[in-house]
Amino acid sequence: MDSLKDKCGIFGIYGKDEDVARISFFGLYSLQHRGQEGAGITVTDGKNLKSVKGLGLVSSVFNEQKINSLKGFSAIGHTRYSTTGGNKLCNVQPIVLEEDFALAHNGNIINAMDLSRQLGSDIGLTSTSDTEIMGWVIKSSQGKNWEEKILSSFEKFQGAFSMVVLTKNKLIVFRDTYGFRPLVLGRLNGSYIACSETCALDTVGAKFIREVAPGEVIVIDDSGMQVVGKIESAKKSFCLFEYVYLARPDSILNKQLVHQVRQRSGELLAHESPVKADLVVAVPDSGTSAAIGYSKASGIPYGEVLIKNRYIGRTFIQPEQHIREMGVRIKFNPLKEIVKEKRIIIVDDSIVRGTTIKKIVKMLRSCGAKKIHIRVCSPPVTDPCYFGIDTPDKKQLIASRMTVSEIKKFIGADSLAYLSLDGLKKASRIKPNRLCTSCFDGKYPMPVKGGFRKDVFEN
């Protein structure tokens, strides 16, 4: 895996008898994998909205003092990953508008620039976030309350949005009609929770209720949880890449445990592209589940060869030149004694630019590996995503400009094979016509303007 990142994770809670800020912190902590460059929490006490936001990991943005300063009965939180040039404090969510309306968003709106031009001249944008555009569009839409405004604005938004919204006395949850990004509901004692993945519910001790349906708008307040509207759409397009890499393996999406989907993909890959070897290993941690599946189906033992430094996170401190030249060794260290004279199958979730796997192959060669076979448990990533994943431009995607044999030569492997798209769909156990596969086949579920720039508006 080179560098594909989901832009964010979201969390919301309504509970009069709970420390909502503290619960939100732990919820965001479990969603850290969805965004590592900024985090924020906004709470309401019925009179005012108060926020704490900052750049960095959840654990570095918040401390006891900051959590204790956020008193209220409902909260929303966000953990964010930015694209190049977008890692600014003004873009860290939740976005708060006029002190009575806050939003946290997972996804990407492809018509944000057009919508921004339609806003009144009296509205001064404070960020480069498509989420702020959405907020102002909702505020200016027709309706006697927030939920009606949200429902009347739905058709104006083109793209992906799973959202939690906080007003002075309500938590509002909604999801685009395509259902690109996950959004689930849970119950904690007398409280309700909405978040990106079920792993966050598990972390805070909440019980999973169900997923938010595509197009559904839900209000949670003193009266409980109520579905106030649903915008129907014939087209559903859940992101297939959530199963490949984005979601945590212990999350359940569309009634499928992510770990099991990845394991099935590894089993199918072993049947599609067998090869003789002594050991099956993973690029940890995203390739581990699939490597276990490949080992199971092939009968070749599974073992650890690459030891990952799990505490490195994302750093903005530049290493000294001699450390920089080590490249991938900062993140992975090989078990040299196990690698020597072995024929090794390396299972990874995807290849984006090809630079990381190339360094891994070179490193294992230097450790004395006899043969190195690369098996990828997803199809080649050939096209950019416009619906919430930070994909490089098409020209930076190695599979868009090289054949499989050319990629094999570039990374220095003895063989290279990808799982077929049909195989990945089969592993997901979701009806193929309900999946978004655009990063693998360039078939977008809605028209994407050729001039759309992902770096102009980002969440």
- Residues annotated as catalytic (active site), given as ranges: 8
Say if residues 283 and 348 touch (Cβ distance below 8 Å): yes
Taking the CA atoms of the chain, what radius of gyration do you get in angstroms?
22
Q: What is the SS3 assignment for 224?
A: strand
Cβ-in-10-Å burial (0-12, 13-18, 19+) of 110 comes to buried
Helix (H) or strand (E) holding 346: strand 343-348
Partners of residue 221 on adjacent β-strands: 224
Q: How far is CA 223 from the centre of its chain?
A: 32
The position carrying tokens 């090869």 is 275
If we measure between CA atoms, which residue out of 64, 68, 91 comes closest to residue 79?
91
The position carrying tokens 């448990």 is 377
Backbone angles phi, psi at 326, to 5 degrees: -70, -20
Q: What is the SS3 assignment for 133?
A: helix
Q: Cα–Cα distance between 335 and 340 in angstroms, integer? A: 9
Backbone angles phi, psi at 172, to 5 degrees: -120, 135
